[in-house]
């Protein structure tokens, strides 16, 4: 009986200890939905040589940093542009990190997290997208995200 009780206490202790870790890691469907919402909301410039690459419309300088961080190698804009799976891999890596950080900062509030990540995606900052084109973009991303969830 003592061993059984001890095992139960140990199990409960582990469950409590692991709970914050699980809460800090967003479920894969959330990140997948965020990545897809960003893709769907990407600005359509109507120009093939607009200086932005892939369906996510990423700048070359940003791509260099992200690919090196996520893949441990730099990817050229041409590679990124013509390989949707590679682009999605890099974007997912970056968005997962950002989403996870924002989810923690927003006390696991999914809606606030989506808005913060959308703002960060457009401006590099997670706050300040409350008016104009950036606010419209955040609303658009949020709407796509909600449809995907």
Q: Is residue 122 part of a domain?
A: yes
Asked whether residue 17 is domain-assigned, the answer is: no
Domain span at residue 110 reads 24-148
Number of structural domains the chain divides into = 1
Instruction: Return the pLDDT at 10.
Output: 37
pLDDT for residue 25: 55
Residue 43 covered by a domain: yes
Judge whether 75 lies within some domain: yes
Whole-model pTM? 0.80
Average pLDDT for consecutive 10-residue bins of the chain (149 residues)?
43 40 65 98 85 94 96 96 97 97 95 98 96 97 97
Distance of CA 52 to the CA centre of its chain: 19
Task: Determine, yes or no, domain membership for 16.
Answer: no
Query: Quick one: which of 98, 117, 104 has its CA closest to 24?
Result: 104
């Amino acid at each position: 009986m003592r061993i059984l009780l001890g095992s139960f206490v140990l199990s409960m202790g582990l469950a409590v200890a692991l709970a914050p870790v699980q809460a800090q890691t967003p479920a894969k469907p959330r990140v997948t939905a965020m990545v897809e919402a960003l893709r769907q909301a990407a600005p359509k410039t109507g120009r093939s040589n607009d200086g932005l690459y892939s369906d996510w419309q990423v700048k070359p300088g940003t791509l260099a940093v992200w690919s090196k961080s996520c893949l441990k190698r730099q990817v050229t804009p041409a590679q990124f542009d013509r390989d949707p799976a590679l682009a999605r891999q890099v974007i997912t890596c970056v968005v997962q990190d950002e989403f996870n950080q924002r989810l923690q900062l927003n006390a696991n509030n999914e809606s606030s997290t989506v808005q913060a990540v959308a703002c960060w995606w457009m401006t590099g900052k997670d706050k300040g997208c409350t008016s104009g084109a950036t606010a419209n973009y955040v609303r658009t991303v949020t709407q796509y995200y909600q449809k995907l969830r």
